[in-house]
Structure 1
Amino acid sequence: MTKKALVLVDIQNDYFEGGDWPVHLMEKAAANAARLLESARANGDMVVHIRHEIPSPDAPFFRPGSNGAQHHSSVAPLAGEAVILKHRANSFQDTSLKQDLDAAGITDLVICGAMSQMCIDATTRAASDFGYAVTVAEDACGAKEAVFGGVTVDAAQVHAAFMAPLAMSYAKVVATEELL
């Protein structure tokens, strides 16, 4: 029998308009994540909220103790839901995430949040490597434009460029509606 957990990664204030590091279409991604959260709660699935802090007062965003580093109100944790603080892109690295999931007998993960090209990618690949059956709710994830070698890649292309290889080898990548 499978046992599912919803993992909400870095849906934090700094990623929204007015924050220090706004992510393209983050409001839409968060609205879809909120729908997944409501469903997970109704189904009795485990819910894990991941919160990222960059442990430096000079960090461009997610500074410890700042409002920007707090969970966005649309997906605020309830009492009893797991909240894990991380300092790296991979939500498993130097955290209790794997131990918490294993202790609860979790076999299947639904992952959403931000950013597609960083923490969603790293967390999804690690989860797959640990043997979890992983689903990424792609429209509940947000990406940010990227610049490399003088080329600017818009957020939609960045998102697609990361979802495609995840779908190829690491996870089932679907829209929120399909999960609901």
Structure 2
Amino acid sequence: MTRALLVIDMQRAFDDLDFWGATTNPDCEANVAALIDAWTTANEPIVVVRHDSMSPQSPLHPDNPGNALVDPVARIEPALLVTKNVNSAFYGDPDLRAWLDGRAIRDLVICGIQTNMCVETTARMAGNLGYDVTVVLDATRTFDLRADVAGLGVVTRTAAELMATTALDLQAGGFARIATTAEMIGENRT
């Protein structure tokens, strides 16, 4: 057992597009479910990461219904459940790195929400910590962003642009390999 699937922040709150804005990749949840099924069949460990916001107004706060995991994730018994209140799963509880290293797990396959936030941050940290990282891009999704950025003015990016930029940054930067769900499920069968 040297590989684990990290399922990041697959929570009901992200279905609230009035709160988050426009999104992309409607197949994300189905692809995450397919990865979970493949890992379960192969008897490989699945780590579920849940974002527990500290802000009571956030739909991701533990007291709010949006904190709940989506059905394909809620129905499994993960090898480990990590809760966090920042972008990286490596700053959660319990200690993800200690758990992985204690089991000699060196390969991480990452999926979930948001592509350019918690998925990317976790992948970058994992790469810096020496793990072999694969991000399954079609098993992630994110939301359009708009902000007034000092020196740049108002910057707007669509969810699709953010996903492409994240994939480029992670792969070209040497943090992670980018793969599809079909490729990962195919690798599990070999």
TM-score, normalising length: structure 1: 0.91
**Aligned twin of 1:31:** 30
Alpha-carbon shift at residue 18 of structure 1 (Å)? 6.3
In structure 2, C-alpha distance between the alignment counterparts of 1:54 and 1:23, rounded to whole Å: 21
In structure 2, C-alpha distance between the alignment counterparts of 1:69 and 1:165, rounded to whole Å: 29
In structure 2, C-alpha distance between the alignment counterparts of 1:94 and 1:110, rounded to whole Å: 18
In structure 1, C-alpha distance between the alignment counterparts of 2:85 and 2:22, rounded to whole Å: 19
**Aligned twin of 1:62:** 60
In structure 2, C-alpha distance between the alignment counterparts of 1:19 and 1:32, rounded to whole Å: 24
**Aligned twin of 2:188:** none
Alpha-carbon shift at residue 36 of structure 1 (Å)? 0.5
**Aligned twin of 1:72:** 70
Aligned in 2, Cα 1:155/1:98: closer, same or farther, shift over 3 Å?
same
Alpha-carbon shift at residue 16 of structure 1 (Å)? 1.5
Alpha-carbon shift at residue 66 of structure 1 (Å)? 1.5
In structure 2, C-alpha distance between the alignment counterparts of 1:72 and 1:91, rounded to whole Å: 18
Matched, 1:150 2:122: no
* Identical columns (%): 29
Matched, 1:174 2:174: no
In structure 1, C-alpha distance between the alignment counterparts of 2:15 and 2:158, rounded to whole Å: 17
Query: CA offsets per residue over residues 105-130 of structure 1, 9 Å max, x none?
Result: 20100000011111011000011111
Instruction: List structure 1 segments (4+ residues) > 6 angstroms apart after TM superposition.
Output: none
In structure 1, C-alpha distance between the alignment counterparts of 2:75 and 2:104, rounded to whole Å: 21
In structure 2, C-alpha distance between the alignment counterparts of 1:144 and 1:80, rounded to whole Å: 27
CA RMSD of aligned residues (A): 1.8
In structure 2, C-alpha distance between the alignment counterparts of 1:98 and 1:19, rounded to whole Å: 35
- Give the gaps of 5 or more residues in structure 1: none
Query: CA offsets per residue over residues 141-161 of structure 1, 9 Å max, x none?
Result: 101111133232111001111
In structure 2, C-alpha distance between the alignment counterparts of 1:78 and 1:23, rounded to whole Å: 29
In structure 1, C-alpha distance between the alignment counterparts of 2:136 and 2:92, rounded to whole Å: 25
In structure 2, C-alpha distance between the alignment counterparts of 1:123 and 1:23, rounded to whole Å: 23
Aligned in 2, Cα 1:51/1:23: closer, same or farther, shift over 3 Å?
farther
In structure 1, C-alpha distance between the alignment counterparts of 2:88 and 2:22, rounded to whole Å: 18
3-state DSSP of counterpart to 1:150: strand
Aligned in 2, Cα 1:161/1:117: closer, same or farther, shift over 3 Å?
same
Alpha-carbon shift at residue 49 of structure 1 (Å)? 0.3
In structure 2, C-alpha distance between the alignment counterparts of 1:175 and 1:32, rounded to whole Å: 9
Which residues of 2 match residues 116-127 of structure 1 at below 5 A?
Answer: 116-127=115-126
Matched, 1:13 2:12: yes
Query: CA offsets per residue over residues 54-111 of structure 1, 9 Å max, x none?
Result: 112133x301221101111122252353111101001101431111111122010000
Alpha-carbon shift at residue 30 of structure 1 (Å)? 1.2
User: Is the radius of gyration larger for structure 1 or structure 2?
Assistant: 2
In structure 2, C-alpha distance between the alignment counterparts of 1:66 and 1:136, rounded to whole Å: 29
Aligned residues: 178
3-state DSSP of counterpart to 1:40: helix
Q: Does the aligned pair in 2 maintain the 1:92–1:98 contact within 8 Å? A: yes
TM-score, normalising length: structure 2: 0.87
